[in-house]
Structure 1
Amino acid sequence: MNNSAKREPNVEAVRQVLRGLLKSSPHVRAAAVVRLSGLTVAAVMPYYVEQERVSAMSAVMLLLGERITESMRSGELGKVYIQGESGRIVLVSIGEDAVLTLTASEEAPLGLLFLEMQASVKKLKRLV
């Protein structure tokens, strides 16, 4: 995408979508929209989360996921899913230049989580 064609995101509207995502499930702990440059557009995270680090790592993870799927000829990347000991992290691209990052508890039903994220991505594509 051409940098001159990029519009400034409506940060408050993005934050509202993220808050809605957190309200949609008691298992969702945090959510952020991040540019692939690693800069945060908006985030709803607990105080103990290092937002800048998470944003930078989210961008890198999505880019690595895209490179791996390309190298393995697995088609277009759908999502990056990380299972931790006490939680899950899911990353989904928002167009060509942004990623939605979400963390949830291990009890979160994956199917519902993925559906909620896809609905949020549709809204976010109009905002970022």
Structure 2
Amino acid sequence: MRSEMLTSILSDLNGTSADIEASAVISTDGLMIAALLPSGMDEDRVGAMSAAMLSLGERTAKELARGELEQVLVKGDQGYILMTHANEESVLTVVAKPNARLGLIFLDVKRAAEAIGPIL
């Protein structure tokens, strides 16, 4: 039931923009809770990397007096990875194309994270 609700939210998120290629909900210790990833993208690796990046982002925001971490954005020449908290114990990770309109994606990701938080 819970996993179906999460998968439905991820499906809606991926459907809001052709620029979103993948999304996943991951526990802060790196375990995959729900995912819509393309074949060839390793769930375990996505989970571990997302948890590590978010943890490092939190420490960096705190150490450099930037307040509470809202999101981590990684930009590569092949696109973006955006990570944000869904709640205290989970991370929403989104993979987007290089020409993605980030403003819209930030909004959609925030909405999805707010929907995921209460389910977990």
Name the TM-score class by shorter chain.
over 0.9
How far is the alpha carbon of 1:95 from its aligned partner?
Answer: 1.4
Which has more strand, going by share of residues? 2
2 CA distance for matches of 1:34 and 1:43?
8
State TM-score, norm by structure 1. Answer: 0.91
Q: Which has the larger radius of gyration?
A: 1
1 CA distance for matches of 2:42 and 2:8?
21
RMSD, aligned CA: 0.9
1 CA distance for matches of 2:51 and 2:7?
18
Output aligned runs, 1:108-119, within 5 Å. 108-119=100-111
How far is the alpha carbon of 1:51 from its aligned partner?
Answer: 0.8
Output aligned runs, 1:22-33, within 5 Å. 22-33=14-25
State TM-score, norm by structure 2. Answer: 0.97
Alignment match, 1:93:
85
Output aligned runs, 1:1-128, within 5 Å. 10-128=2-120
Q: Secondary structure at the match of 1:49?
A: coil
Gaps of 5+ in 2: none
**Alignment coverage as a number of residue pairs:** 120
